[in-house]
Structure 1
Amino acid sequence: MKTPYILTATAAPSETMADADITTAIERLFTTQKGLNEHALDVATHEGLVTLTGFTDNLLARQRAEEIALAVRGVRGVTSTVAVQTLDLPDADIQRDVCGALADDPATADYAVHCTVAGGVVTLTGMVQSWAERQLVLRVLQGVRGVTTFVTERLTIQKGEIVNSDAEITTQIRELLDWDIRVNSALVEVQTHEQVVHLLGTVGTATEKDHIVAIAYQTGAARVDAHDLLVAYWALGSELRGEKFAPRANEAIVKAVRGTIYHNPRVRCSETLVQAHEGVVTLAGTVSNLRARLEAERDARHVVGVHDVHNLLKIRPKRLVPDADIRQTILAALARDPYVGHFHFVVSVHQGQATVQGLVGSAFERERVGDVAAGASGVLALTNRVAQPGLAGPGTGSAAHAGGPNPDHALAGRIRQRHFWSASLHDQDIEVQVSHGRATLTGTVDTWPERQQAAADAYEVGARDVNNHLQVRTPAAPESQPAESLELLADVNH
C-alpha cells in the first residue's frame, strides 16, 4: 500500500522527456501488463507529473498501475484517482476471506486486528506494533477479491514508553538511506521536528522518492513532508552514485543487513544469523515460514556492498501443521486471489513440501501462484509446476510461417523499448537476444533489483522464457584489507 504524500509541481531542471512521450510510454506499458485492463485506465502528464484515472477490478491492479507509472523514465510523480470496481460479492463472503487471509498469513495471524465489511469496504480495528506491520496488514488484504478500499482510522500503532527523539529519527533515516542500494542519498537532506520528517533535495526517479518516504515512516515518523524532495533526470547520473559501489567492511555489511531485516515484520522475530565476506552474505539460523526465508534474502540483496547471498536459513514453523491443512490453506488463498482465483489448481503436500499444478495464461500469473502458495503457514518448500501453454506474447505466433515479420526480432525490439523507458534500466549495459521466443539477457547492471526487473520486463512483453545472465556490478576490491576472522553474529533484535 503506497503511503500518500503531496507532490510538488515545481518544474525539474534538465528534464528531457516530453509529456506526450511519457503518456504514450505508460499507455503502451499498460497494454503489455497482465492483470491490467488498459481500456479502463486513462493517463495524462503535465511537466512530468502523471495523473491516472479510470478503474480496475481489484486493489492489486490499481497499485500495480501506479508502480508502473512511477518507474517510467521522466516521471516525477504520480497522482491516482483510479477507482476499484469489483464483481458484486456478498459482504459475508468478503468478510470470511479477509479474516481468512489475515489468519492464514504466518506474520499477521497473531495480530490484534479485526475486520468488518460493508459494500466491499473493509474497516480495520485494532493495534499493531509499527508502521511496517500496519502496511503489511493492508498488503495482505489487497490480495482479496471483492475488497474496494479500507477504513483505517481505528487501526492504530502502539506507542511504547520509549519514543525515538527527532535526532534519533533523523539518524536512523540517514543510515537506512545510505545502506539501501535502491536509493541515492547523496543529494537528500533529512530534517525532523516533533516527529514530522521533512525531506529535501533531489532524486533521479519517482520510484526512488516513494521508497525514501516509506523508509522515513519505518523509523517512527508521525508524518513525512516530501514537498521539497524533487525528481530530476540529471540526478540519475552514475557519477552521483559512486559511493553506493564503494567497498564496505564486513562488519558494517553485517550490521546493515541485520538492521534491514529488523525493519521487516515478517523476519524481525526470526533467529537470523548473518555472516559477510567480501560482499558475499550468508544467512543462517531459522525462520518460521517460507515467505520469511525468501524476504530475508531479498532484503539482504538490497544492502549496499552485497553482491551475492547464500541463503542457508532453515524453516521451523511455530507449530506443526498437518499436510492436509497446508493444502487447504493454499487452495483457499489461491481461490480468493484477484489475479488467479478463477483458475483451477491441483495442490499436493508431503511433509510440508507443497506442489502446485495447473494452467494459467501468463508468466505473471504463474509467478503470482508461487508467491501466494509460498505464503501459507507450514509450507517448507514449494514446487511450482503451473504452466502457461501457448504463451507467445504479442507479435509472435504464426507470422514467421506465413512469411511475415520475424517474431523473435520483434520481441527483442519490444524488450529493448521496455528497457529504454525504464528509469532504472535505460542506461544499463544490457544486451538482448531472442531465439524461438526465449530471451537471453547478458551484460552488467548496477543492482540485484535491476537484474530482476530486466527479466520481468522481458516476460511482460511476451518472452516465453528468459535466460538471465546479467551480472551485478561489484565494488572494486580495496587496496589493502587486513586479514580478519569472520564472526557469525546473531540478530540481537529477535
Structure 2
Amino acid sequence: MNANNDLQQKVQFALFWEPHLTGAAIGVTAHDGIVTLSGTVARYEMKVDIEQTVKKVRGVRAVVMHINVQDHLEATDEERLAEEALRALELHTSITPEHIKIVVANGWIYLVGSVDWHYQKQAAEKAVSRIMGVKGVVNSLLIHSERTDMLETKALCDAFDRSSILRGKTIEVAVHQNEVTLTGVVDSLLQKEEAERIAWNAPGLWRIHNQLEIVHP
C-alpha cells in the first residue's frame, strides 16, 4: 500500500471511529499529506467536527473541505438565524457581544467586530455554529485587547515545553509589539495548531504568524 492510500485509509477509519460521524457519507482522497473531503452533512456543526477529527490523524498536513450542509432554508429563516445568533452570543458568559455584529446571507453567518481574547473569538464561532440551519460561519472578529502586558518570549517557550503534544519540539518565538511569529518544525497539523492555541493564551496578543513547518518523520 502506498503512502497516499495508507493515509486515506487512516482518515476513513478515524471518521468511522467517531460515533456521531458514522452516518455521514464522506469521500476521502489523499495526496502528499493533503486530504480532500467531499459530501453532504445535515448540520454545520458536524462539518466542523469532521474537519477537527481529520486534522488529528498522523500524516495529515492540510485539509481541503468540499463538504456541503443540507439546505432547508426558506426566505423567512434568515431572520430567525440572525435572532438565534444574537441570542446565542448574549447567553454566552465568555463573550461581550456589544462589539460583535452579525450578518446573515444565504444561510451563512458572518461575525465582524472585535474581542479582547482569542478564546472569545473561538467561543463566538462555536456558539453560532450550533444553530440549526446554519450552512457556514465566517469569523472575521479581530483581537484588540486594551491590555498593555509585554509579551515574554520565555513564558511562551515554557508553555510549549509543558505541553505533552509538543514535547521535544524546538519552536522559535519572535515577538514584535503585540504580534508573535512561530517558526520551527513539527510532526503534524495537530502540533502546529496546538502551538498556536497555546500562544493565544498570552495576554495582550493581537496576531500570530504561524510559520511552523510540518515534516512527517
Query: For the structure 1 residues 29 and 156, does the alpha-carbon distance in structure 2 shift closer, same or farther, using more than 3 Å as the test?
Result: closer
Number of residue equivalences: 211
CA distance in structure 1 between the partners assigned to 2:79 and 2:134 by the alignment: 12
Task: Specify the alignment match of 2:194 in structure 1.
Answer: 211
Residue in structure 2 matched with residue 31 of structure 1 by the alignment: 16
Residue of structure 2 equivalent to 1:142: 129
Query: Cα distance, 1:93 vs. partner?
Result: 2.0
SS at match of 1:82: strand
- Aligned residue in 2 for 1:53: 38
Aligned to 2:142: 156
Map 1:395-410 → 2, pairs under 5 A: none
Q: Deviations over 1:188-227 (max 9, x none)?
A: 222334655333333233212211122233431523232x
- Letter paired with 2:216: A
Q: Percent identity?
A: 22
Structure with more contact order per residue of length (Cα contacts < 8 Å, sep ≥ 6): 2
- Please tell me whether the aligned partners of residues 58 and 86 of structure 1 are also in contact (alpha carbons under 8 angstroms): no
Task: Tell me which amino acid in the other structure corresponds to 2:144.
Answer: Q
Question: What residue is the counterpart of 1:339 in the other structure?
Answer: none
Superposition pairs for residues 143-292 of structure 1, below 5 Å? 143-153=130-140, 155-160=141-146, 162=148, 164=150, 168-184=151-167, 186-193=169-176, 195-219=178-202, 220-226=205-211, 228-233=212-217
* Partners of 1:158 and 1:196 in 2: CA distance: 11
Using a 3 Å threshold, how does the CA distance of structure 1 residues 230 and 28 change in structure 2: closer, same or farther? closer
Using the alignment, how far apart are the partners of 1:17 and 1:211 within structure 2? 29
Equivalent in 54, 67, 71 of residue 82 of structure 1:
67
Query: Which portions of structure 1, spanning 4 or more consecutive aligned residues, are displaced by more than 6 angstroms?
Result: none
Q: Distance in 1 between matches of 2:62 and 2:167?
A: 17
1:301-346 per-residue CA deviation (whole Å, 9 max, x = no partner) reads xxxxxxxxxxxxxxxxxxxxxxxxxxxxxxxxxxxxxxxxxxxxxx
CA displacement at 1:100 relative to structure 2: 2.2
1:74-473 paired onto structure 2 within 5 Å: 74-88=59-73, 90-108=77-95, 110-112=96-98, 113-153=100-140, 155-160=141-146, 162=148, 164=150, 168-184=151-167, 186-193=169-176, 195-219=178-202, 220-226=205-211, 228-233=212-217
Aligned to 1:304: none
Q: Which residue of 2 aligns with 1:18?
A: 3
Q: Partner of 2:10: helix, strand, or coil? A: helix
Q: Which of 1 and 2 has greater Rg?
A: 1
**Who is 1:391 aligned against?**
none
- Cα separation, 2, equivalents of 1:201 and 1:144: 38
Structure 2 unmatched ranges of 5 or more = none
**What whole-Å deviation, never above 9, does each CA across 1:217-244 have from its counterpart, x for those lacking one?**
3431523232x422423xxxxxxxxxxx
CA distance in 2, matches of 1:22, 1:91: 39
- Aligned-partner residue type, residue 54 of structure 2: A
Quick check: 1:65 aligned with 2:34? no
The structure-2 alpha-carbon separation of the partners of 1:59 and 1:172, relative to structure 1 and needing over 3 Å to count, comes to farther
**TM-score of the superposed pair, with normalisation by structure 1:** 0.38
Distance 1:85 1:170 in 2: 45
**Aligned partners of 2:39 and 2:66 also within 8 Å:** yes
| 1:141 match: secondary structure | helix
| Alpha-carbon distance in 2 for matches of 1:148, 1:84 | 5
- The unaligned stretches of length 5 or more in structure 1 are 1-15, 234-494
Aligned equivalents of 1:70, 1:131: Cα separation in 2? 20
Q: CA RMSD in A?
A: 2.8
TM-score after normalising by structure 2? 0.80
